[in-house]
A and B are shown apart, each in its own frame.
Chain A
Amino acid sequence: MQKELLLEILSEEIPSRFQKNALVNSSSLFTKILNEYGTNFASVTSHISSRRLVLVVKYLSKKTGNVFKEKRGPRVTAPERAITGFLSANGKEASDLIERNGHYYLNIAMRSESITELIPQIIEDFILKMPWPKSMRWYLEDQRMLSAFWVRPIRSILCIYDESPIDAFIESVGINTCDYTYGHRFLSPEPIRVSDFDDYAIKLKQNHVILDYRKKTSAINDELVQQAMVMGLYVSYDGELLEEVTGLVEHPFVRVGVIDGEFMKLPAAVLSTAMRVHQKYFTMTYPDLILAPYYGVVTNVPITDDMFRGMNRVLRARLSDAKFFYKEDTDVTLEAFAQRLSNIVFQENLGTMAQKVDRMMSVANSKDEHRAVALCKADLSTQMVSEFPELQGAIGEIYARVQDESENVARAIGEHYKPAGASDVLPDSFTGARISFFDKLDTLVGLLGIGITPSGSKDPFALRRSALCIIRLLCDSEYDVLGEDNLSWYITTLINAFSEQGVALSTDTLESVHRFLTGRLKVYMTDKLLIAQEAVESSISSFDSFDFNYKNAMIKAKKISSMIKRPGFNTIKEALKRVLGIIGKEEGRQDFDESDVSFISTYMDNLRNHINICKEINEEAELFEKIVWISELVLEACDCVLIHDIDPELKSQNLGLLNKFVKLVKSNIGIE
Chain B
Amino acid sequence: MTNQPTESVRHAMPANTERGPEAYAIDGLTPRLAFAPDSRSEAAMLLRAANAAGLVVAPQGGRTATGFGRPLTEYDVALDLRGIHRVVEYVPDDLTVTVEAGITLAEVQRVLGEHGQYLPMDAPPDDHVTIGGLLATAKTGAWRGHLGSPRDHLLGVEVALPSGELARSGGRVVKNVTGYDLHRLHTGALGAFGVIVEAAFKVSPRPAQTMTLAAPAADQHEAMRVARATWDASLATRALTLLGGAAAAHLGLPARPTVIVEFAGQAAAVERSAREFEGLAGRTETPTADLWRKLRATHGDTATTVARLGVPPSLVADVVASAEGAGGRAWGHLAAGAVIVHGDIGVDALRRLRAMAEERQGFLQLEHAPVDLRREFAPAEPGDGDLVRALRDRFDLKRTINRGRWGSGL
Q: Does A pair with B?
A: no
- Which B residues contact A (CB, under 8 angstroms)? none
- Which A residues contact B (CB, under 8 angstroms)? none
